[in-house]
Each structure stands twice: as structure tokens, then as C-alpha cells.
Structure 1
């Protein structure tokens, strides 16, 4: 039970860090990742908040993933999308609502901080197998249906979404490239120490339990 709570803590901490990173990247105004650029574009063109579109698109992906695999949709993933969407709206509409940044150096710093936060958040969030992000699940579905590698599947979907976001006015720029090519290696960099920390915390609890 204790270990489940610990892993749950990593899961929620990861979503907080991820949403914070997404919001910083958007606030920097130098281009967002493909999916976030799509959500921003939908918000600009149709209405609703960025967080709302995160949830709506996530719901559509859950249905589509289930349909393509001929399986029952994993609606537990809606929890993840709801939390991420709500937190993104909190950061953008409450915390960063009145912030205007003109200096390019400051915007670049915010962008890089956002990418680091997002990568750290994903590394924490992946410590749990609960309610995986339907965007990640889409990559797995494409991989299973086509037989292509995970790397190709991820890249293909990201490029496809990027093209859609570009044509409907999403924020595409240098930040988009940094997110696309930088966040993967950063996740790999963070994942090992975060996993070691989670293992250490869980193991220490077991040791204390045995010696009590």
C-alpha cells in the first residue's frame, strides 16, 4: 500500500511538472511541441481553453485507439488527460495570465526551462503504469498495426500532427524543433535517476517495515 502511494506521488508530481513545462513553452512564444501547438491552434480558431482541447483530443484518441485495436477503450486514461488539461489551464490562465515577456534571452530561458520541466515530468509520470497518456498509446497502436519501429512510429505521428498544427495556425518555431529533438534524450537522461530514486524510496519503506 505504501509503495502504491509513493508511485502515485511520482505520477502526480510528474503531471504537475509536465503541465508546468508545457505552459512555460507556450508562454515563451517561440514555438510549442507538435501536439501542444495543435491544442493552441484549436483554442485560437474554435474557442475553449488549451486544457479543454488537451482533454477533448485525448478522449478522441482513446476511442480511436480502442477502435483500431478492436479493444475496449482505456477510459482510465481520461484521468491523466483531465489532470494535465486542468493544470495547463491553471498555469496559463492563472499563474502566467498577466506575464508578458519581450526580451528574446528571457523567452529562450523560459523555453529551455519548460523543456527540462516537461522531460522531468514525463520521467516521473512513467514510474506508474496507470492511465497512460493516449498520445503515447497512439504511438504503440501505430507500431502494432504497421510493424514499424517505435522511433519511426513516434516520429511519423509527431510530423503528421505538426503539419496539421502548422496549417491551422499553431505556434511553430525554434521551440518546436527543440521540443521535437531535445525532449527524448532529456527524458532518457532523467529517467534513470528518477527510477533509482523511486526504487530507493520504495525499498527503504520495505526495510523499515521489516525492522519495525
Structure 2
């Protein structure tokens, strides 16, 4: 069980792309990338449905939605495009996975909000919050192993780490805290679910990488 906490590298599978900047991946690689991103988007959407508190970037997306009136999926899409534009200054190069990340996650979030209703009991809300974090972790593991380019937020993290030479943990924490504060100021939902996501997403991603690697 504790082996999941020892993972330091993204595993390589037979269906993994040999390099992130691969614009002609195997069909299996592309399909699993899309499946992973769809699961990721479902998890993000279900956390919103739980009404217990959103993930940091969804807090920002919901805050923008309350200001502009656009859907959370559309807001997520625009935030992702905005983050991706920062890559220009960081000399990061997007891959197919980067583009699909922007499109699929935003679309699935909106579909999830359309077809799922919030739970009625407190217990079921927090169970849903935990399940949603596990789904985001599972989707992350699959999409990362596909190795077709990082998502806009992950690319921002690695780019800033390279440019500033600061520890990756500090850079990631600084980004997430800043995003939550801005989103909360705009009216995004912050709650226990936000904490569940913050503390649970790391182990969930590690567990997903471990399990997918064993399959």
C-alpha cells in the first residue's frame, strides 16, 4: 500500500507516447488520453455537484461564472486558454494532450452539471466529494501515462519552476493558493470539499499511477 507514496516518475506503458510532442500518436494512446481526461472532467464536475467546496481552479471558474454569467465549463475553457497563453513567456510547448485537456475537461464539466443533481444529505455530499477526488486522481494517472503533453496548469507549474529555480512544491502551492483566493473573492465556493481535494489529490494521483502501471 505504501508503495504508492514512493512513486517519483510517470510510468511508461506499451501505449504511452515516447515523447510529449507527438502529433501522430497511436490510436490506443489517443483514446486512453481522452478517456483519462473525461474521467478527470467528471470528477471535477461531481465535486461541483457535491456543493461541499470546489477544487482550486474550479473555485476560480465558478467565481468568473458568477461575474459573467457564462457556464462553468466555458469559464474553465477560457481560464485554460489564458493559462496556456502564459506558456509563451515560459517557452513551453503544448502537445495534443494539452489541447485535448482544455476541450474535454471543460465539456465534461458542463455535461456533468446538466445530468447530475446535488445530493440531499450531508453524508452523501461528502461521500461524493471523496469519490470525485478519486476520479480526478484516476483520470490524471491515465492522461499523464499517455505522455502527450501536460495540461495548461501543469505546464505553468513546470515552466515557473524552471524559470524561478524554486522548489516545485512551493511553486504549485503558490499557484493553487493564489487561484483559490482570487476565485473566492469573485464568489467561488470554498469549503471542506476544497480541503478534501487539496489533501487527497496527491495520494489519489499516486494511487492511479501505481494501479494503471500494474494493469
Q: Tell me, yes or no, whether TM beats 0.5.
A: yes
Change (3 A) 1:75 1:189: closer
The one of 117, 122, 127 aligned to 2:140: 122
User: Partners of 1:169 and 1:190 in 2: how far apart?
Assistant: 32
How far residue 130 of structure 1 moved from its aligned partner, in angstroms, is 1.6
Change (3 A) 1:81 1:120: same
Larger Rg: 1
Deviates more, 1:74-83 or 1:104-113: 74-83
Q: CA RMSD in A?
A: 1.7
Alpha-carbon displacement from aligned partner over 1:103-156 (angstroms, at most 9, x marks no partner): 100101111111111111101111122242101101011101111111111111
TM-score of the superposition, structure 1-length normalised?
Answer: 0.84
Q: Which residue of 2 aligns with 1:188?
A: 206
User: Partners of 1:61 and 1:86 in 2: how far apart?
Assistant: 18
How far residue 66 of structure 1 moved from its aligned partner, in angstroms, is 1.3
The one of 90, 105, 109 aligned to 1:88: 109
Q: Does 1:33 align with 2:55?
A: yes
TM-score of the superposition, structure 2-length normalised?
Answer: 0.83
Please say if residues 20 and 114 of structure 1, whose CA atoms lie closer than 8 Å, have aligned partners that are also in contact.
yes
How far residue 44 of structure 1 moved from its aligned partner, in angstroms, is 1.5
User: Partners of 1:100 and 1:24 in 2: how far apart?
Assistant: 9
**Which 5+ residue runs of structure 1 have no aligned equivalent?**
198-212
User: Partners of 1:85 and 1:57 in 2: how far apart?
Assistant: 10
Q: Does 1:106 align with 2:124?
A: yes
Please say if residues 58 and 78 of structure 1, whose CA atoms lie closer than 8 Å, have aligned partners that are also in contact.
no
Pairing 1:166-205 to 2, within 5 Å after superposition: 166-197=184-215
Change (3 A) 1:35 1:91: same
Q: Does 1:147 align with 2:162?
A: no
**Alignment coverage as a number of residue pairs:** 191
Q: Does 1:17 align with 2:39?
A: yes
User: Partners of 2:45 and 2:83 in 1: how far apart?
Assistant: 22
How far residue 75 of structure 1 moved from its aligned partner, in angstroms, is 7.2
Q: Which has the higher helix share?
A: 1
How far residue 59 of structure 1 moved from its aligned partner, in angstroms, is 1.0
Q: Which residue of 1 aligns with 2:180?
A: 162
Please say if residues 42 and 136 of structure 2, whose CA atoms lie closer than 8 Å, have aligned partners that are also in contact.
yes
